[in-house]
Structure 1
């Protein structure tokens, strides 16, 4: 007895998708670690802003603005990375349709 091509393709695509999800989760964890580091620096900057030298204050404010911008970008990327672009069934159906008749899909 041999598995059908569709069953084999389903298992292959499931394994590839699972690997992609694991990779996405590890990227989100790395971004979360980076975000925590930025937040620690942000707290430090808040304490340092009590300084009285104008040039020091300006430098810290600029750095703070850049870190805040980076935090927003990381938070947005983390939410995007955590979600798959489409459901497994949707992606599998598209792949199976293409593999069964690539000319029709390409032509349309």
Structure 2
């Protein structure tokens, strides 16, 4: 369990990667909002054009057709307004969303040594992909870790000049 703790440098790098991904997602949300605003403005211009045609039209059939199109575009505009409203800022900051997860990833041993049985079961489920096996003659077998710990371990294994693996 203690060996799951990544080095400070590796954890800092992983944490920065999470933060960068969070920032990219926020940037994507802003780009989406700009596209929605552009689409909404185009619909608004089309509605204005149709209103001008309605004023100039003499045929009741033509006026009714224009009114139906305007009504349809108004509904589309309302849908875009709702999308724009829902594409706001995240409800919580990066730190609020990931503080506990990052604390756990930085040192699962802290939660394990708390002695709380529920916390220990949670650590086992979050840290290991399968149940830890025990062989009578050989002792505990090497457990398979979950993806986050595999990634952190993969970052920390590097080849040195002699070709041997070195863990940091």
Deviations 1:1-58 (A, max 9, x none): 95262x3332121101111011111111111111110110111111111212111111
Cα displacement (A) at 1:79: 2.2
User: Normalising by structure 1, what TM-score?
Assistant: 0.80
Give the aligned partner of residue 104 of structure 1. Answer: 122
13, 24, 29: which one aligns with 2:18: 13
Counterparts of 1:1-108 in structure 2 under 5 Å? 2-3=8-9, 5=11, 7-50=12-55, 51-96=57-102, 99=105, 100=108, 104=122
Tell me, in whole angstroms, the C-alpha distance in 1 between the residues paired with 2:61 and 2:47: 18
User: Normalising by structure 2, what TM-score?
Assistant: 0.54
Tell me, in whole angstroms, the C-alpha distance in 2 between the residues paired with 1:20 and 1:75: 21
Runs of 4+ more than 6 Å apart: none
User: Unpaired runs of 5+ in structure 2?
Assistant: 1-6, 112-120, 127-168
Tell me, in whole angstroms, the C-alpha distance in 1 between the residues paired with 2:49 and 2:58: 16
Q: Assess, with a 3 A threshold, how the Cα gap between structure 1 residues 81 and 9 changes in structure 2: closer, same or farther.
A: same
Q: Assess, with a 3 A threshold, how the Cα gap between structure 1 residues 66 and 97 changes in structure 2: closer, same or farther.
A: farther
Q: Which has the higher strand share?
A: 2
Higher RCO (C-alpha 8 Å, min separation 6): 1
